[in-house]
Amino acid sequence: MKVALAADHGGLHLKEEIKKLLTSMQITFEDFGCNCETSVDYPDYALPVAEKVASGEFDRGILVCGTGIGMSIAANKVRGIRCALVHDTFSAKATREHNDTNMLAMGERVIGPGLALDIVKIWLGTEFEGGRHENRVKKVMDIEAKYSGVK
Ligand code: RB5
């Protein structure tokens, strides 16, 4: 599995913790920034990660900002992305099983690093259940196709 990750200035420290975790799990990753404490714009960092996941170059993407909200909104604008904003372990598991999410967003100002790293582990380690969820995910992607003008 290859993971792309990025953060804005509000998620920088948690991103570094996630990188340590991925290294310890022997998961290949690439860091798409930011690497500075100065204020940056989260869409500039959400977009390259979302594009890498949408293109298939990376299997999963992880984004961190202050709340995770801006990053998740931006990522979900990219065709093919299903990005979940997650701050609890139940949702981390459920969003893989039910929504087949390919991106995860979290807020460094919302949760501590212990919980965040548990969320990452669960989210990376949980498979999509398929079955009745298959058609629901397809319906979501049909909405995206309808509003992007591509059938
Ligand atoms: C930056 O101050 C903050 O707005 C950003 O990290 C994020 O929370 C946006 O949704």
- Domains of the chain as residue ranges with CATH: 2-148 (3.40.1400.10)
Ligand 1 neighbours, Cβ below 6 Å, are 8, 10, 42, 65-67, 69-70
Q: Which atom of ligand 1 is nearest to the CA of 65?
A: 6
Rounded to an integer, what distance in angstroms lies between the CA atom of residue 65 and that of residue 39?
A: 11
Q: How far is the CA of 9 from the centre of ligand 1 (A)?
A: 8
Is 133 a catalytic site residue? no
Which residue of the set 65, 83, 87, 133 is catalytic?
A: 65
Residue nearest to atom 5 of ligand 1 (CA): 66
Query: Rounded distance, CA 14 to CA 26, Å?
Result: 18
Nearest atom in ligand 1 to the alpha carbon of residue 11 is: 6
CB 93 within 8 A of CB 36: no
Ligand 1 atom closest to 109 (CA): 8
**pLDDT score recorded for residue 148:** 86
87 included as an active-site residue: no
Q: List pLDDT tens digits, range 23-78.
A: 999 999 999 999 988 999 999 999 999 999 999 999 999 999 999 999 999 999 99
Q: Rounded to 5 degrees, what angle do the CA atoms 70, 75, 77 make? A: 105
- Distance CA(83)–CA(78), nearest Å, equals 10
Mean of per-residue pLDDT scores for the chain:
97
Tell the residue nearest (CA) to atom 10 of ligand 1.
70
**pLDDT over 60 (residue 151):** no
What's the mean pLDDT in 82-110? 98
